[in-house]
Amino acid sequence: MRSTVKVGTSTCGLATGAEATFRALQEAVSETGLAVSTQRTGCLGACHREPLVEIVVDGAHVLYGPVTADRARPLLEGHFTLHGAPPPPEDWVVSRTPDRRDYAFFAPQVKVTTANCGVIDPLSLEDYLAAGGYEGLRRALAMSPEAVVAAVTDGRLRGRGGAGYPTGLKWKICRSQPDPLKYLVCNADEGDPGAFMDRTLIEGDPHRVLEGMIIAAHGIGARWGYAYVRAEYPLAVKHLEAAIAQARDAGYLGTDILGSGLDFDVIVKEGAGAFVCGEETALMHSIEGRRGTPRMRPPYPAASGLWGHPTNINNVESYASVPSIMTGGAEWFSSLGTSESGGTKTFALAGAIQRTGLVEVPIGVSLRQVIFDVGGGIRDGHSFKAVQIGGPSGGCLPECLLDTPVDYGPLRATGAIMGSGGMVVVDDTTCMVDLARYFLSFTQDESCGKCIPCRIGTRKMLGILTKITRGEGDTADLDRLQQVAHTIHTTSLCGLGQTAPNPVLTTLRYFRDEYAAHIHDRHCPAGTCTALR
Amino acid sequence: MVALTIDGRKVEAGAGSTVLDAALAAGIEIPRLCHHPELTAWGGCRLCLVEVEGQQAPVPSCGLAAAAGMVVITHSEQLEAHRREVLDLLLSDHPLNCVICEKAGACDLQRYAYEFGLSESSHEKEIARKLYQDENAFLVRDHQYCILCTRCVRVCEEIVGASAIEVAQRGFEAFVATPFDAPLVETPCTFCGNCVQVCPTAALVPVDRIGKGREWDLTRTRTVCPYCGTGCGIEVATRGGEIVSVSGYGAPANGEFLCTKGRFGLGFVGHPDRLRRPLIRRDLAYSLGLIDTPPPAALGRSPLGRSPAAGETHVEVDWEIALDLVADRLAAVVKESGPDAFAGIGSALCTNEDNYIFQKLVRGVIGTNNVDLCARV
């Protein structure tokens, strides 16, 4: 009998006390003398049931949660029926199948990039290899670089950082540059409020991200890679650095990788706390040791990036998709999504819903499916009001747009954006004016100050919104908001400024009546603006 | 050369030109605040945005390479509306003290406010930076007037190579700072003042300029810097014969920029101690019969308890007498002890041409190679 007890100890698990649970389980195992091994894993995504503990006995899986430390001993005794203990209560059980599809949260999901998260030990290269790791790299190295780029193009992978630029095309442009020294950057400066896709991926399966980067290096001809991880993700940094050290020892990084002649290595660079450093040119300035502010494009990084050399920058999730394209094939990958974009997208599902967490769904499913089928709908008997998608750069969409597919083009058409994957659901207790004000206060605070429309314009918009939430607004304020928003959107230097007005513009478009109520009736319909109570 | 169309006109642009360069060369004005022709494009002020055929959003012309066949519009209703809005925002963060401002008349922001007819911002007034720093003898940093164009930061890094300043903090709180907010004297700053020269507003002002007159009161004279042999062209602004400020103007030797001596070191020009005519010692003048009274016997131990003034020890003579005297004495020394008894030291404050003539005099006329220059090190 081979038994394993796995505890999800990613940051999200730790926040709910998974460390104490893990220790309690270890103690209980040694005290009871059970022949089981305890293992740390990443996050399965079901954050609403954490701490999660999975017990695997001879291939039979049972997932429990939440398992707080005090439940550790009864759980073990009950599961293994020691001393005639009763089985664990049924409401502790999340799932009883290896694919966990008997739990509604997992059923509609298709796990590609997060397939190993919460399943393998992220600090174990053996675990990753046993799960088919580095097979994609082997296949890629057997192919010509052009064929690798073509496969990514055929897989219709688009940039998961949010803008959706075709990844294969980006690689091709970078590859075609005559400069022999090329760089690769993995953008893990995830900063949208409520977003934790990149963190979960790196913490739970760091080798997958590395593998994607090495395949990209082969495709592009890059010699050095930087992983730019925000410093607020210490566990992700630790896991990635451990994975890099293991990969070097095993010959997946360094010179003549797997005897293919490919030389490539990765350096981890920690961010210094600026949201704008997620913007690719600011990120490069930060790596170069300069002030993290964006610069004008062109030249695009693919032509002139780090220290003037061609540089390919992709998001964590983009790289994490690449090994699967190599193993599963471009045709399979593209068939997962829509005619516009292939593959899956992870979302950090949060807010007023039953089941929050990290979800991965095929591109093209509707917002309704994500929120109601995966997320289980609104909690506590309240009703759905809006979904905020794409973080502070995104927009707030009302119920009538819930059948919009999660895909780059359709979401853009609504005034929101796909974004990196933040999805915050709000119910009727949230004031949309106040929500817009919150997101604007974020962008205003994170503006680097380089260009005038973003530096001063967001400040002025925030001032007007604050005025309205205090019941001091007038009708002219709405026109003024729209006018300033238009200038900020059109004239700002980088994506931060250009998209900063989106939460305001979409709420003005879909929830104008709430603005009107604040201005004309001096009334906050949701009852959250304290000055109007 | 590439040919493009700007505002319906066929324009030729040199290799590497930006659209802004091409437009300016063709006499087409585009509003701009952060741009400076000698510095790398910054793209922060967003005033130089232009419409380019085939591009959805306006593009900053300062960072846009001119390309063959490009069709550009620099002025449209949309562009003017955006420029006006950006200026409107900027004015909400700028004290409109133009009536007493040192920079009035030479301020780029004032100029555009005038051109767009903006007397005040339509937004709530809020000055982001209120810091006033005048801890050195050369320049004042009055941050309330700063528009964060970063011309100063770029000139310090790209031209001077000192990198004494950089933008600190971010967003609305951003300001141009020294490392750890140290006084400028404790930084690599050389007080060359090029930051002052490129500042489009009154955020950086020379200390000596304050209260010396409005910009339109000043007379500008182009001349050569008297400080060393480089021969930098300087433009000296004066009022009533008094020097108010000095700046570069694009002369062949130095381009736009100056060092601290040329910019801030011309105080000697009007100094009362400055030698304007030849002086010879009183005892010599008496022995030559140029004056009637002998010098006091013990000047070195003057009961005045102070060093004697030049008028007490020397007398002014005309150039002819002075030069004749020097020539006679030199000839006597050479005759008596040979040419190698003489040595000449030139000055780095002289021009190259003057020093050339000087060594020619020493070698050719006096006949010795004993000639050197303090700048030889």
pLDDT digits (tens, 9 = 90+) for A284-304: 999 999 999 999 999 999 999
Q: What is the mean pLDDT of residues A337-363?
A: 96
Chain A residue at shortest CA distance from B173:
A449
Partners of B49 on chain A (C-beta within 8 Å) are: 491
Beta bridge partners of B10: B5
The architecture in CATH of the region A432-532 reads Up-down Bundle (1.20)
pTM for this model (two decimals) = 0.92
Percent of chain B with pLDDT over 70: 97
Residues in B touching A453 (Cβ below 8 Å): 46, 85-86, 89
- Select the residue of A293, A298, A453 nearest B89 (Cβ to Cβ): A453
The pLDDT assigned to A465 comes to 98
Class of domain A344-427: alpha beta
Return the CATH class of domain A3-95: alpha beta
**Among A20, A182, A30, A43, which residue's Cα sits nearest to residue A118?**
A43
* Topology adopted by domain A125-335: Rossmann fold (3.40.50)
* DSSP labels, B306-317: SPPPHHHHEEE-
Which DSSP symbol is given to A192? S
Give A297-302 contacts, CB < 8 A, sequence gap 24+: A298/B65, A300/A173, A301/A174, A301/A185, A302/A170, A302/A173, A302/A174, A302/A177
Look at residue B305 in the predicted model and tell me its pLDDT.
67
Bridge partners, residue A405, by sequence: A366
Q: What secondary structure does DSSP assign to B12-58, as a single string? A: EE-TT-BHHHHHHHTT-----SS--TTS-----S--SEEEETT-SS-
Chain A interface, best mutation among B18, B91, B170, B176, by max A CB count within 10 A: B170
pLDDT at A258: 96
At B230 the pLDDT is: 84
CA distance A123 to B225: 68
The proportion of chain A whose per-residue pLDDT surpasses 90, expressed as a percent, equals 97
CATH class for the region spanning B2-75: alpha beta
Distance from CA of B62 to the nearest CA of A (A): 10
The two structure tokens encoding residue A103: 């739990």
pLDDT at site B377: 56
Instruction: Taking residues A387-393, report their average pLDDT.
Output: 93
Instruction: Check residue A293 and give its pLDDT.
Output: 96
Q: How remote is the C-alpha of B143 from its chain's centroid?
A: 21
Rounded Cα distance between B325 and B288, Å, is 10
Structure confidence at residue A133 (pLDDT): 97
pLDDT of amino acid B227: 86
User: Over pLDDT 70: what percentage of chain A?
Assistant: 100
A-chain residues within 8 Å CB-CB of B85?
453, 483-484, 487, 491
Q: Helices (H) and strands (E) in chain B — how many of each?
A: 10, 17
Is residue A458 scored above 60 in pLDDT? yes
Per-residue confidence (pLDDT) for residue B273, from 0 to 100: 84
Q: What residue type is assigned to position B286 of the chain?
A: Y
> What is the pLDDT at residue B303?
61
CB atoms within 10 A of CB A149: 25
Of B46, B169, B170, nearest to A452 by CB-CB distance is B46
Whether the per-residue pLDDT at A214 is higher than 80: the answer is yes
Residue of B nearest to A292 (CA): B170
* Cross-chain Cβ contact A490/B89 below 8 Å: no
Chain B residue set in contact with A, beta carbons under 8 Å:
41-46, 49, 57-58, 60, 63, 65, 81-82, 85-86, 89-90, 92-93, 123-124, 126, 147-148, 150, 166-167, 169-174
Domain boundaries defined on chain B: 2-75, 215-272, 275-331, 338-377
Amino acid residing at A122 = P
pLDDT confidence bin for B170, thresholds 50/70/90: very high
Cβ(B237)–Cβ(B222) below 8 Å: no
Mean pLDDT of A441-455: 97
pLDDT > 70? residue B304: no
Structure-token match 């040119």, residue found: A281
The SS3 call for residue B337 is helix
Q: Please compute the mean of the pLDDT values over residues A345-358 and round it to a whole number.
A: 96
CA B48 to CA B70: how far, in whole Å? 16
Distance CA A361, CA B250 (A): 62
Query: For residue A191, which amino acid is it?
Result: G
**pLDDT, position B312:** 79
**Stretch B112-116: mean pLDDT, rounded?**
98
Give the pLDDT confidence score for residue A427 in this predicted structure. Answer: 96
pLDDT at B293: 85
Residues whose CB is less than 8 angstroms from the CB of residue B238 and which lie 6 or more positions away in sequence, other chains included: B218, B219, B221, B244
Interface test with B, best of A290, A304, A456, A460 (most B CBs within 10 A): A456
Answer yes or no: is pLDDT of B310 > 80: no
Nearest-by-Cβ selection for B44 from A291, A451, A458: A451
pLDDT tens track for B274-299: 888 999 998 889 988 989 988 776 55
The band of B300, judged by pLDDT with boundaries at 50, 70 and 90, is low
**Nearest-neighbour CA in chain B from A435: distance (Å):** 21
Say how many C-beta atoms besides its own lie within 10 A of residue A445's C-beta.
Answer: 16
pLDDT at residue number A83: 84
Q: What pLDDT does residue A253 have?
A: 98
SS3 A324: helix
> ipTM of this model?
0.93
Tokens 């059970």 belong to residue: A34
Collect all residues of chain B within an 8 Å Cβ-Cβ radius of residue A282.
none
Least confident of A149-158, A412-421, B83-92: A412-421
Reported CATH class of domain B215-272: mainly beta
Mutate to test the interface with B, among A490, A492, A494 (most CBs of B within 10 A): A490
A440-468: average pLDDT: 97
> How far are the Cα atoms of A119, A246, A265, B198, B244 from residue A124, in angstroms, in the given order?
12, 9, 19, 57, 72
Q: Which residue of A has its CA nearest to B128?
A: A456
pLDDT in tens, B253-269: 999 999 999 999 998 88
Contact A484 B167 (CB under 8 A): no
- Read out DSSP for B144-203? GG-----HHHHIIIIII-----EEES-GGG-EEE-GGG--GGGTT-----HHHHH-SSTT
- Tell me the shortest Cα–Cα distance from A248 to chain B, in angstroms: 38
Q: Give all strands of the β-sheet with A262-270 in edge-to-edge order.
A: A254-257, A262-270, A224-229, A183-188, A311-315
Kindly determine whether residue B46 and residue A457, on different chains, have CB atoms separated by under 8 Å.
Answer: no
The alpha-carbon gap from A449 to the nearest alpha carbon of chain B, in Å, equals 4
Nearest residue, CB atoms, B171 vs list A295, A445, A483? A445
DSSP, collapsed to helix, strand or coil, labels residue A525 as: coil
CA distance readout (Å), B144 to A138, A312, A453, B97, B199? 60, 40, 18, 11, 13
Task: Give the distance from residue A463's alpha carbon to the nearest chain B alpha carbon, in angstroms.
Answer: 8
In 3D, which of A247, A241, A283, A242 has the Cα closest to residue A262? Answer: A247
Q: Chain-wide mean pLDDT for chain A?
A: 96
Is the pLDDT at B301 greater than 80, yes or no?
no
Exposure string of B214-245, with b = 16+ CB inside 10 Å and e = fewer, is ebeebeeeeeebebbbeebbbbbbbeeeebbb
- Where along chain A do its domains lie? 3-95, 125-335, 344-427, 432-532
Is B302's pLDDT higher than 60? no
Computed over its alpha carbons, how large is the radius of gyration of chain A?
24
pLDDT at A1: 63
| Distance (Å) from the alpha carbon of A420 to chain B's nearest alpha carbon | 23
What's the pLDDT at B298? 56
Q: What type of residue sits at position A84?
A: G
pLDDT for B172-207, tens place per residue? Answer: 999 999 999 999 999 999 999 999 999 999 999 999
